[in-house]
């Protein structure tokens, strides 16, 4: 890449290029965040001739996804055939200048910020460098909105005042803006990879672009109407309707394994734009089929209890290849794969490398062959009994998936328990209930009550308000009186018999041991497929 040389650009030309669509802000830039006050200070510096930093622009005939409006101002498309200059550094400054000139209103967090509310104090002598001439608070004396001053014609200035001193100041201020030499560096003939690298290195916020932001820039295709960010938003929205939140990083991993067999960062960065665009629809359908498979076959109703988002990737690869439901033997092998990965902390590190290895396992499954594994869950009753409950622990989430599979019913009326992603993010949420209440166990001198086998699903606070710190023998008998089908509800939580499980005796140790037997048996069914 040749070393670019700085040059200067005047304010009218800068604004004209934005108005003509020749200067654009790529979408990987952050939103316009400068306040009216910060903008006023910038413009005051320009008025006084102070340097405000260098704009770095990338001139190209390529098209990237760009910001389409600033506040209530719609930005035009770049004319066909014209080169476009993307702002790599100086976006906040350029946008501030443009917002002030156009008098733009910007909505942030429900509050309107009006950039017309920037004023020029005409009572201040232009040679006085100690006081701010451009301000965000309306001055008491002679003043003009900066927006009006910059757009005034000579006849309007004379019509505004007959004071020769004020007229002279207005003229000087207009000239100061119109003749200010903005420093700029324009990169030409560089690739999008070079432009993104430059942006990343000079990013003053210190936050590197995410892989998704880079791929949004690299894959934008105006002629095919493809905008990765917009396509992802549509896909994520549809999947969210099914109760699953799918990160953009997971979607990129799906594309990587489908198109190149692995999903390391360097692999994804090298993916060809046209291949991504061609594969997008089929990948999206395969991902949606994966979600539906998890929901219907494994009965995982929401992604909040999915052990790893990465599990979506090999299954999406399977459905992209298979384009049909798994055969009975494939279904068995997929089940074994799901549970071995979930119960062994498989994706707790080196995720991209392991996904590449697992794609080969999926290839075996597609050939009706049982994969070989170099990992296995350490599963025994002692581990189950002592496993602390944490909503961020993949092993715990796997157990929650097992609980969900049995479609837990309400202790009160046998209604289906509704699980909700918003309720599953914290351990004290609406969906989690300690069958032996922690407060009750503390009274018995037992402090280690927060274990996964003491967790049951509920769908609101009713059970908690009813149970509080009561002994299980007490509140379960009350539910039994009100609900003649309580034992069916208990079985849906893998609690088979109140007597055998020590409920009537309030025996916490026995409860954990008996539930561990049931859970262990259920997990082994899934880990050892019939061949």
pLDDT digits (tens, 9 = 90+) for 128-158: 788 899 999 998 888 888 888 888 776 777 6
Asked whether 227 and 216 are in contact (CB, 8 A), the reply is yes
Q: What percent of the chain has pLDDT over 70?
A: 91
84-89 sheet: strands from edge to edge: 6-10, 181-188, 54-60, 84-89, 23-24
Beta bridge partners of 84: 60
| Predicted local distance difference test score (pLDDT) of residue 204 | 47
Asked whether 295 and 243 are in contact (CB, 8 A), the reply is yes
The set of residues, in sequence order, having a beta carbon less than 8 Å from that of 506 and lying 6+ positions away, is: 436, 440, 444, 471, 472, 473
Reference 89, options 214, 196, 224; nearest CA is 196
Q: What percent of the chain has pLDDT over 90?
A: 47
| Predicted local distance difference test score (pLDDT) of residue 70 | 72
Element (H, E) at 8: strand 6-10
Calculate mean pLDDT across residues 484-511.
Answer: 95
Q: Of the ranges 120-134, 266-280, 306-320, which is most confident?
A: 306-320
Q: Which residue has the higher pLDDT, 289 or 66?
A: 289
| Predicted local distance difference test score (pLDDT) of residue 298 | 97
310's tokens: 């990465």
Calculate mean pLDDT across residues 168-183.
Answer: 89
Chain-wide mean pLDDT for the chain?
Answer: 87
| Predicted local distance difference test score (pLDDT) of residue 453 | 96
User: Beta strand pairing status for 134-135 and 119-121?
Assistant: antiparallel
Q: How far is CA 206 from CA 92, 201, 202, 209, 218, in A?
A: 15, 9, 8, 10, 21
Taking the alpha carbons at both ends of the chain, their separation in whole angstroms is: 59
Element (H, E) at 513: helix 508-527
The set of residues, in sequence order, having a beta carbon less than 8 Å from that of 246 and lying 6+ positions away, is: 235, 236, 239, 287, 291, 303, 309, 312
pTM (2 d.p.):
0.74
The torsion region of residue 225 among left (phi > 0), alpha (psi -120 to 50) and beta comes to left
Stretch among 33-37, 99-103, 377-381, 457-461 having the lowest mean pLDDT: 457-461
Confidence of residue 435 (pLDDT cuts 50, 70, 90): very high
| Predicted local distance difference test score (pLDDT) of residue 426 | 47
| Predicted local distance difference test score (pLDDT) of residue 531 | 45
Confidence of residue 78 (pLDDT cuts 50, 70, 90): confident
Beta bridge partners of 287: none
Q: Which residue has the higher pLDDT, 318 or 379?
A: 318
| Predicted local distance difference test score (pLDDT) of residue 469 | 80
Q: Looking at the predicted structure, is the pLDDT value of residue 15 above 90?
A: no
| Predicted local distance difference test score (pLDDT) of residue 465 | 67
Beta bridge partners of 121: 143
């Amino acid at each position: 890449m040749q070393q670019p040389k700085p040059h200067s650009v005047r304010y009218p030309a800068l604004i004209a290029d934005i108005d003509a669509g020749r200067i654009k802000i790529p979408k990987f830039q952050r939103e316009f965040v400068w306040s009216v006050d910060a903008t006023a200070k910038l413009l005051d510096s320009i008025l006084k001739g102070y340097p405000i930093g260098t704009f770095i622009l990338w001139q190209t005939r390529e098209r990237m996804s760009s910001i389409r409006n600033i506040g209530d101002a719609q930005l035009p498309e770049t004319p066909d055939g014209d080169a476009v200059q993307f702002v790599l550094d100086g976006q906040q400054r350029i946008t501030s200048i443009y917002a002030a000139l156009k008098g733009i209103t910007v909505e942030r967090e429900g509050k309107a910020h009006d950039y017309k509310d920037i004023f020029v104090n005409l009572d201040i002598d232009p040679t006085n460098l100690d006081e701010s001439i451009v301000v965000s608070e309306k001055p008491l004396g002679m003043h003009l909105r900066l927006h009006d001053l910059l757009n005034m014609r000579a006849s309007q200035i004379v019509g505004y005042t007959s004071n020769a001193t004020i007229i002279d100041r207005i003229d000087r201020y207009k000239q100061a803006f119109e003749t200010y030499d903005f420093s700029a560096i324009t990169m030409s003939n560089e690739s999008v990879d070079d432009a993104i690298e430059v942006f990343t290195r000079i990013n003053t916020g210190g936050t590197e672009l995410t892989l998704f932001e880079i791929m949004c820039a690299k894959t934008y295709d105006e002629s095919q109407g493809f905008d990765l960010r917009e396509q992802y938003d549509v896909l994520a929205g549809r999947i969210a309707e099914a109760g699953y939140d799918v990160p953009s990083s997971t979607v990129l991993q799906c594309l990587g394994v489908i198109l190149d067999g692995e999903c390391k960062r360097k692999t994804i960065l090298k993916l060809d734009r046209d291949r991504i665009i061609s594969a997008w629809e089929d990948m999206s359908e395969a991902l949606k089929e994966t979600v539906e498979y998890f929901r219907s076959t494994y009965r995982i109703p929401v992604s909040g209890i999915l052990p790893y988002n990465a599990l979506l990737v090999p299954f999406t690869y399977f459905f992209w290849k298979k384009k049909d439901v798994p055969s009975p033997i494939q279904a068995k092998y997929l089940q074994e794969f799901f549970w071995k990965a979930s119960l062994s902390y498989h994706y707790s590190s080196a995720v991209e490398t392991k996904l590449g290895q697992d794609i080969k396992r999926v290839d075996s499954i597609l050939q009706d062959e049982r994969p070989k594994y170099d990992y296995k869950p350490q599963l025994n009753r002692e581990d189950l009994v002592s496993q602390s409950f944490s909503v961020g622990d993949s092993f715990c989430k796997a157990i929650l998936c097992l609980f969900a599979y049995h479609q837990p019913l309400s202790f009160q009326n046998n209604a289906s328990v509704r699980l909700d992603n918003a309720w599953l993010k914290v351990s004290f949420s609406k969906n989690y209930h300690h069958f032996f209440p922690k407060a009750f166990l503390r009274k018995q001198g037992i402090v280690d009550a927060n274990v996964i086998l003491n967790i049951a699903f509920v769908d609101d606070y009713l059970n908690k308000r009813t149970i509080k710190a009561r002994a299980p023998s007490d509140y379960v008998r009350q539910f039994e009186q009100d609900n003649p089908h309580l034992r069916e509800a208990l079985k849906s939580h893998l609690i088979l018999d109140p007597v055998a499980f020590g409920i009537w005796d309030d025996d916490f140790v026995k409860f954990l041991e008996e539930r561990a037997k049931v859970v262990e048996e259920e997990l082994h069914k899934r880990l050892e497929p019939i061949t």
